[in-house]
Chains A and B, each alone.
Chain A
Amino acid sequence: MAVWAWVIIGIVVVLLFYFVFIFNGLVGLRNQVKNAWAQIDVQLKRRHDLIPNLVQTVQGYMQYERATLEAVTKARNVAQQAIGQGVGAQAKAEGELSGALSRLLAVVERYPDLKANQNFLALQEQLTSTENKISFSRQFYNDSVLNYNNKTQMFPSNIVAGMTGFKQGEFFKVEEAAEREVPKVSFEQPKP
């Protein structure tokens, strides 16, 4: 009798520890997803901060491209206002900003003086890198969501997830659609 009682108590304790272990793992993964999301915002903000500098540097060289420059500034302001208005709106605004920027940098090809400007080259490096960082942070976010979702769906952790109310994470897919349009946009001439 006493032996059986001890065995049952032992099993319960082991199960309890296992439960706690899985639960903590799930919390860790969920926090990673949250943190990865915050990282995307950090990079988007960095891009917003770079743009006034870029416009300032470029302005002196490109008197005839006022429309392109204004489009960039406008897209940036729209994107800044879109912060906190939901994933969809933000992704759309950022996609448009990417388009406007790539149009500007395509135009730069016509200005050899500008391309030799140290200031501009430094800015271009920062911009390219920020653009990469945005896509890498998005990539890491999606990887984290995949990990987290796998854990919430796979046995046995799905039992713990179901009992304690872990919801599925959402992939960041929206902006990819916006980005896919970009090449098409960049070849268009701005209409008069």
Chain B
Amino acid sequence: MILVAAMGILLLLIGFGLGYLFGNGIAGLVIALVIWAIMNLIAYFQGDSILLLMSRAIKISPDDHPRLYNVVEEMKIASGLPKMPDVYIIDDPALNAFATGRDPSKASVAITSGLLEKLNRDELEGVIGHEVSHIKNRDVLLMSLCSVLLGTIVILAWYGSRALIFSGGGRRSSKGGGQGQLIILAVAIILMILAPILAQLIYFAISRKREYLADASSALYTRYPEGLASALEKLGASTGQLKSANQATAPMYIVNPFRPKGRAVSDLTATHPPLSERIRILRTMAGGASYGDYDKAYQQVHKGGASIMPATALAGAGAVGLRAAAPAATLKEPEQSRVERTREVGDLLWQKSGYKIIDCECGTRLKIPSNIGKATVKCPHCGRTHQI
């Protein structure tokens, strides 16, 4: 909260400085606030649909991919969300997932097809638990407010520096307002340069804090930190880059979608804590799955560092046990192979792009485009005819 306030103050300062250059500090302040308010309104009402549209996510129903839908519903129950979030798939081989939506009763979870193919049920549960807790903790709202704040600061600073170069500076100094004005001018210039950098740093700090909290919540909901840890390990080993992400939406994803192409998710990523560290914390959680246990593990990994969990999360939390690998312990689902999962997701994407899937008795799976223009089709292997 302090960090968010710091960003807000930065915005006001830069607005004031900008206005001062044009001769009226208060007017600049008002303009900064108005711009910020407008951008916030847009982000609040349209943010999630814009994000989903930009990432080309496809909405799925329970029948399209029962396992994914069920896992999301399980996490919805475990976290006590008031409403089932919408479930989306992004057709992209990169490994990532994100959550969006302004409040817990209107939210969405999206996952790339690459990730869906790669994770087993426990790992998928860990990832979805992480995303659902972003919704539950209202991180989506917080981070979109912050990114709008950041964006506004960057835009204002950019215009301010242009104005300074092309017109402002000369006019002001020729008037000769004395030493006081000169100092203010200098401060304004420094602010123009520093504000965007400072805002970016604050923004990253907030984002990292929320990531830790989401990891801890995921462990709490699933009672099984190893699931998320091993999923993060798989995510870390991949080198693919998500095509449809952008700078402003980066904190919504489970791992930073921006990293040099061809390189593994490095420990230098800024919106997210280092992956290796997140994994180590989750694996250090030996005693239980509560926020307190996560905090202890965090401090252990950081060699006596400060607490990372917000005090409200730690207060009044009782001991929470871990569970064994197979949930519910009574029923064990046969582990699907990687090939089966890939086929499952592939078929789903074919269907979602308008193809009809027909299983021939000879074992061939026919994928028929919707504009084929014929009523029957022949199987290329055995020659049986199928009705479409």
Contacts and interface: CB of A to CB of B under 8 A. Distances in A.
Interface of A: 32, 36, 39, 43, 98-99, 101-102, 105, 115, 122, 124-129, 131-137, 139-140, 143-144, 146-147, 150-151, 154, 179, 182-183, 186
Contacts of A124: 333-334
Contact of B80 (A36, A132, A183): A36
Nearest to A182: B330
Contacts of A32: 80
Nearest to B82: A35
B131 interface: no
Contact of B67 (A125, A137, A146, A183): A125
A80 B330 CA distance: 20
A105 B331 contact: yes
Contacts of B66: 122, 125-126, 129
Interface in B53-98: 66-67, 70-71, 73-75, 77-80
Nearest to A147: B316
B329 interface: yes
A115 B327 CA distance: 21
A131 B74 CA distance: 10
Q: Tell which of B71, B80, B318 has the most Cβ of chain A within 10 Å.
A: B80
A140 B78 contact: yes
Contacts of A137: 77-78
Given A126-B66, A133-B70, A136-B75, 5 more contacts: A39-B77, A139-B223, A146-B316, A150-B316, A183-B329
Contacts of A125: 66-67, 70, 333
Contact of B328 (A132, A140, A150): A132
A139 B290 CA distance: 13
Assign chain B's interface to a size class.
20 to 34
Contacts of B331: 101-102, 105, 127-128, 131
A126 B78 contact: no
7 contacts: A125-B67, A125-B333, A127-B331, A137-B78, A143-B80, A179-B330, A183-B329
A183 B324 CA distance: 13
B74 A132 contact: yes
Contacts of A135: 327-328
B31 to A, nearest CB: 37
B383 to A, nearest CB: 24
B327 A132 contact: yes
A129 B74 contact: yes
A133 B74 CA distance: 5
Nearest to A139: B78
A26 B49 CA distance: 36
Contacts of B330: 98-99, 101-102, 131, 179, 182, 186
Contacts of B80: 32, 36, 140, 143-144
B375 to A, nearest CB: 25
A133 B223 CA distance: 13
Q: Tell which of B67, B75, B78 has the most Cβ of chain A within 10 Å.
A: B78
A136 B318 contact: no
A92 B272 CA distance: 46
Q: Which 4 pairs across A and B sit closest by C-beta, in order of nearness?
A: A129-B70, A136-B78, A150-B316, A131-B328
B74 A136 contact: yes
Contacts of B78: 136-137, 139-140
Interface string B4-36: 000000000000000000000000000000000
Contacts of B79: 140
B333 A140 contact: no
Nearest to B316: A150
Interface in B130-175: none
A32 B77 CA distance: 12
Contacts of B334: 115, 124
A36 B82 CA distance: 11
Nearest to A43: B77
Contact of B77 (A126, A136, A182, A186): A136
A124 to B, nearest CB: 7
A178 to B, nearest CB: 11
Q: Tell which of A32, A125, A182 has the most Cβ of chain B within 10 Å.
A: A125
Contacts of A147: 316
A43 B316 CA distance: 28
Interface string B300-339: 0000000000000000101000000001111111100000
B77 A133 contact: yes
B180 to A, nearest CB: 43
A182 B74 contact: no
